[in-house]
Structure 1
């Protein structure tokens, strides 16, 4: 099962007011395990950003001026995510921005059902407790010391670890799956144990066998050991 852990950075809070996406970061998971495949893109928002926070993050006008516009990378982004489940912290925010950008391009929008919100999962599991990404890192003992500045790819990598903890660790099925994931073209031979050519000898001594027979003889006639 393929999943994509996703994060965005934006110029503000509302795309309908002119705010735009300036960075997208995504991490691919297969079977709840990171594959090492990522998507990362800085984007020219085509607008002046007075917010000093973004200047501190290094995502000010000078840095973003020569980056591609969303219209130039939108299709490549859609190709990367495909129809995979999107793991997002506060999914409503990111999906709102992504769909606004996609709508302006005339590209298909992301169905809301495609997103899985880790913020909602955390609030459900730990009601009344802080559910920010930093708070969840502290709860699960995940090292986020490199998160001194926000960054979409770094945050998605950290969120991938948080997500795996939220669903029960790196192997949420406790490795009890009986059927490994297979891909088209795989040549897989079903393995089955062969019967033993000779039965194993009994490990009971004659004395132990006699004691057992004496014990069974004193039981009622419908017990398991006396049934033929």
Structure 2
């Protein structure tokens, strides 16, 4: 799916796994989900670590830092399946490189029952990587690259983590799909109310208020001295105009 989602309820999802290919028996070990309603954060999250009953590849551990020892006492997928489905049911899933995560989740579904179940049975999917490639052709469109392009601070992301990456992706998604695509949107041109995609966005309603720090009289004096020195050296100081 390449067009921006218009569902009122969106679930931004990410997973971490034991390796790169579920066809080689690799498993999901972490799921992180963040809920948006009408393109606003609700504060509702789904986050779980999962015991995969198999060894995690060393290369995967270097990416996400999750070890088998850490997962020893964690639930198995069959233990969290019902709660997970309840969270994603009837939502539009927003996933970066959706075929990877959806493939792994569908593989987990297939291990639970003989009856075939897929993500499509519960939700629709919007792939932000496919959308970014269409919107920014010929450019790097990894999550880190998109954070840089849309000026989103991800400096706290030392390792991959499903919940953290879902939160970052939610901000990326809102910025990447939140602009007005023409001077007059199609809905407005037809005399209709614009859809959710073009409504003013709110990146998060759970961010702390910014702290305003005022300079001291000494700092003001030192600043003025610096401007005087610039004016003396160059004959003009734009900051004094």
TM-score of the pair, normalised by structure 1: 0.72
1:164 counterpart residue number: 174
Corresponding pairs, count: 175
Query: What SS does the aligned partner of 1:164 have?
Result: helix
Per the alignment, residue 7 of structure 1 pairs with: 14
How far has the Cα of 1:50 moved from its partner?
Answer: 3.6
What is the alpha-carbon root mean square deviation over aligned residues? 1.9
Matched-pair contact (CA < 8 Å) for 2:11–2:94 = yes
Q: Give, in whole Å, the separation in 1 of the partners of 2:133 and 2:40.
A: 23
Match of 1:94, SS? helix
- Can you give the 5+ residue segments of structure 2 that lack an aligned partner in the other structure? 1-7, 181-195, 201-241
Q: Which moved more, 1:90-99 or 1:107-116?
A: 107-116
Moved over 3 A (4+): 55-58, 169-172
Q: Of the two, which has the highest radius of gyration?
A: 1
User: Which protein has greater RCO, CA pairs closer than 8 Å, 6+ apart?
Assistant: 2
2:142 is the counterpart of 1:132: yes
Residue aligned with 2:85, SS: helix
1:173 and 2:183 aligned: no
Residues 212-227 of structure 1 mapped to structure 2, 5 A cutoff = none
Unmatched runs of 5 consecutive residues or more in structure 1: 176-228
Q: Distance in 1 between matches of 2:99 and 2:198?
A: 28
Report what 1:26 is aligned to.
33
The SS at the match of 2:119 is coil
Q: 1:98 to 1:53 in 2, by over 3 A?
A: closer
How far does residue 103 in structure 1 lie from its aligned partner after superposition? Answer: 1.3
Q: Provide the secondary structure at the position in 1 that maps to 2:81.
A: helix
Q: In the alignment, is residue 90 of structure 1 matched against residue 97 of structure 2?
A: yes
Q: 1:56 and 1:138, CA in 2 relative to 1: closer, same or farther beyond 3 A?
A: closer
